[in-house]
């Protein structure tokens, strides 16, 4: 009985960890795409080019892992 309870807690922990990692990955992906798009647009508007220009709106990665 105690082993089954520990197994259940372990699987719940893995489940929440998986959800957290997926959400974190999607936030990171979304921010990366939006930041590169904005730096591309603003870079060409200011004539600098988009080679690693940070977005003027100051978006940073919301990822906790990156």
Cα(11)–Cα(4) distance, rounded to whole angstroms?
11
Q: What are phi and psi of 23, to 5 degrees?
A: -65, -40
pLDDT tens digits along 31-57: 666 666 666 555 555 544 444 444 455
pTM as predicted: 0.39
Cα(17)–Cα(23) distance, rounded to whole angstroms?
10
Q: Cβ(44)–Cβ(50) under 8 Å?
A: yes
Q: Cβ(56)–Cβ(42) under 8 Å?
A: yes
Chain mean pLDDT for the chain: 68
pLDDT in the model for residue 18: 86
pLDDT in the model for residue 20: 81
pLDDT in the model for residue 55: 47
Half-sphere exposure of 8 (CA within 13 A, CB side): 5
- 61 pLDDT higher than 50: no
- 22 pLDDT higher than 60: yes
């Amino acid at each position: 009985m105690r082993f089954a309870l520990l197994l259940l807690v372990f699987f719940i922990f893995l489940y929440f960890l998986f959800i957290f990692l997926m959400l974190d990955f999607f936030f990171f992906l979304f921010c990366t795409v939006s930041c590169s798009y904005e730096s591309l647009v603003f870079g060409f508007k200011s004539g600098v080019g988009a080679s690693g220009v940070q977005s003027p709106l100051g978006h940073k990665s919301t990822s906790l892992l990156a």
